[in-house]
Structure 1
Amino acid sequence: MSIQLQIDQLYWQINNKTILKNITFDINKGEVIGIIGPNGAGKTSLLHCITNQQKQNKTSQLNGTVRLNNKFISSYSAKALAQHFSHVAQKAEAIFSLTVIDIVKMGLLPHKTLFAMNNDHDRQQIKRALDKVGLGHAQQMHYDQLSGGEQQRVLIARALVQKAKILILDEPTNHLDVYYQHQILQLISQLNITVIMTVHDLNLASQYCQRLLLLNQGQLIADGSPSSVLTESQLSTVFRLPCVVTQTADMQKPRVFFSLPSQQGAHNA
């Protein structure tokens, strides 16, 4: 595999509070990576730094380097970054009044001049992307008429049209029911591009990610396969709860179960 992203000794502090501390890892082309950890661990902050979207001001201190294709991330223009990264956020309220096809068309913007018109090739790209996510029938529907899972699929279709090399997702299954959680993550894992996403549910991360990064208090605690990262000792320490990890017989993936300590559970009953 060829290295696509290199993060080296990344350190970020805001108002004397350490957000990320000396984080180092590489990302290979085509990997599906899940970033996991408790709330406040630095997961979303790490995504911001990877894509050069971190907020910097007089009270912040950012050290270390992020390289994309062996070039410093800060050397890329915003348009060039949009040709490499596509970001799917948890919510997209600003586009609720638009139709599905209008939203997916936005993926063309990084490849167009200001007043360029869409051509037949562009329209074919949009159609293929919508067909791939199973929404070819919904082009003229309004975004706010769709279910949560369908809305996420629209945003993924926009990312496909954008032709980004790396797909960035921040909690893509948040607010979705179980069926759509699996539908979205299965789709993402089959796109054949590099995927970096924060995932709240450890069992979903185990099932759909090739590699996991475990963060805690801004530090990278573990980096590796789901089996090597999702261990009882590491998870019990990071999440501060007793933990049992089993192995599924059908998929050979670890399954994680947490429980409150017996005394605390009895006290709260």
Structure 2
Amino acid sequence: MTLEAQHVSYSIHDQRILHEVSIQIKEKQFVGLIGPNGSGKSTLLKNMYRLLKPESGTILLNEKDILQQSSKSIAKNLAVVSQETPLLFDFQVIDLVSMGRTPHKKLFELDHEDDFRIVKEALSQTGIAHLETRSFSSLSGGEKKRVMVARALAQQAQVIILDEPTNHLDIQHQLQLMDLIQTLHLTVVAALHDLNIAAMYCDTIYVLQQGRIVHYGTPEEVLTPAVLWEVFGVHADIQMHHLTGRPYLTYVSEQFTKIAPKETSTIQIT
């Protein structure tokens, strides 16, 4: 199952937010979106899961235009964990996670033994089985995030979109969640603020700046001192971690350095 954005543009009140953005997530690939606040990451994801409609361009889910597919068909194949999930009514955790089974049910069809098993497994995988009878509104921000991930897992989609999935989570649960997502071998696209998390888990990283893709490639190709200075305006020392074999970033305050990083070779779209 693949997901692709082709030349997507989007505006709000005549202000262009996305400019001809194209990204491709191949089957079972983990793709990260990084960039400063306001660079267009969340807007791009919302276009990709049909919450917003592109002003121009096309979103393809498994090589088919997402706007030409039914909501139920999309929900069977694509799950979303957004930054915020406002609810009109409060639910128990287990009921909310069970909603992930809805795309697989006929109208008024009751849950079956397999549905209960899948929901229980999702609760266990995300470490929230002990919260199943709790009210969603009574949970902490991190607990709420894990409930929404559990609902996405119960959906059993082959493509998952994650918008700041580690937001509100302590470091242990950040790593547990990202490990879980990686081991499921799904097609994943995630907007990430933590660049070390992006370096550790992503196969490919796209860098957005002011609504445009300005760099893309592997973590080693993209996460360089020159790119971090250009896009984020920060100094960073980057080493290859001896355990992960991936880049590891250490940020340096400007008070300790007055020299911008030298240019390094990166993949750049002009």
Report the Cα distance in structure 1 between the residues aligned to 2:194 and 2:131, rounded to whole angstroms: 30
**Equivalent in the alignment of 2:263:** none
**Equivalent in the alignment of 1:150:** 143
**Structure 1 residue 147, shift from structure 2 partner:** 4.2
In structure 1, the residue corresponding to 2:2 is in which secondary structure? strand
**Equivalent in the alignment of 1:48:** 46
Report if the CA contact (8 A) 1:242-1:261 is conserved. Answer: yes
Does structure 1 residue 196 correspond to structure 2 residue 192?
A: no
Q: Compute the TM-score of the two structures, normalised by the length of structure 1.
A: 0.87
Does structure 1 residue 214 correspond to structure 2 residue 212?
A: no
Report the Cα distance in structure 2 between the residues aligned to 1:176 and 1:149, rounded to whole angstroms: 5
User: Which letter does structure 1 place at the counterpart of 2:146?
Assistant: R
Report the Cα distance in structure 1 between the residues aligned to 2:36 and 2:153, rounded to whole angstroms: 30
Does structure 1 residue 103 correspond to structure 2 residue 96?
A: yes
Q: Name which of 4, 8, 14 aligns with 2:12.
A: 14
**Structure 1 residue 238, shift from structure 2 partner:** 0.5
Relative to structure 1, the CA distance from residue 173 to residue 76 in structure 2 (aligned partners, 3 Å threshold; closer, same or farther) is same
C-alpha RMSD over aligned residues: 2.2
Does structure 1 residue 123 correspond to structure 2 residue 116?
A: yes
Report if the CA contact (8 A) 1:6-1:26 is conserved. Answer: yes
| Aligned-residue identity in percent | 36
Question: Number of aligned pairs?
Answer: 258
In structure 1, the residue corresponding to 2:32 is in which secondary structure? strand
**Structure 1 residue 253, shift from structure 2 partner:** 1.4
Report the Cα distance in structure 1 between the residues aligned to 2:77 and 2:144, rounded to whole angstroms: 22
- Which has the larger displacement, 184-193 or 163-172? 184-193
User: Which letter does structure 2 place at the counterpart of 1:42?
Assistant: G
Structure 2 residue ranges without an equivalent (≥5): 259-270
**Structure 1 residue 260, shift from structure 2 partner:** 4.0
Relative to structure 1, the CA distance from residue 13 to residue 120 in structure 2 (aligned partners, 3 Å threshold; closer, same or farther) is same
**Structure 1 residue 44, shift from structure 2 partner:** 0.3
Q: Compute the TM-score of the two structures, normalised by the length of structure 2.
A: 0.87
Report if the CA contact (8 A) 1:149-1:181 is conserved. Answer: no
- Which has the larger displacement, 66-75 or 11-20? 11-20
Relative to structure 1, the CA distance from residue 262 to residue 159 in structure 2 (aligned partners, 3 Å threshold; closer, same or farther) is same
In structure 2, the residue corresponding to 1:94 is in which secondary structure? coil
Q: Name which of 117, 141, 146 aligns with 2:134.
A: 141
User: Which letter does structure 1 place at the counterpart of 2:11?
Assistant: Q
**Equivalent in the alignment of 2:265:** none
In structure 2, the residue corresponding to 1:197 is in which secondary structure? strand
Report the Cα distance in structure 1 between the residues aligned to 2:86 and 2:58, rounded to whole angstroms: 33
**Equivalent in the alignment of 2:267:** none
**Structure 1 residue 111, shift from structure 2 partner:** 1.7
In structure 1, the residue corresponding to 2:51 is in which secondary structure? coil
Relative to structure 1, the CA distance from residue 95 to residue 182 in structure 2 (aligned partners, 3 Å threshold; closer, same or farther) is farther
**Equivalent in the alignment of 1:30:** 28
Does structure 1 residue 238 correspond to structure 2 residue 231?
A: yes
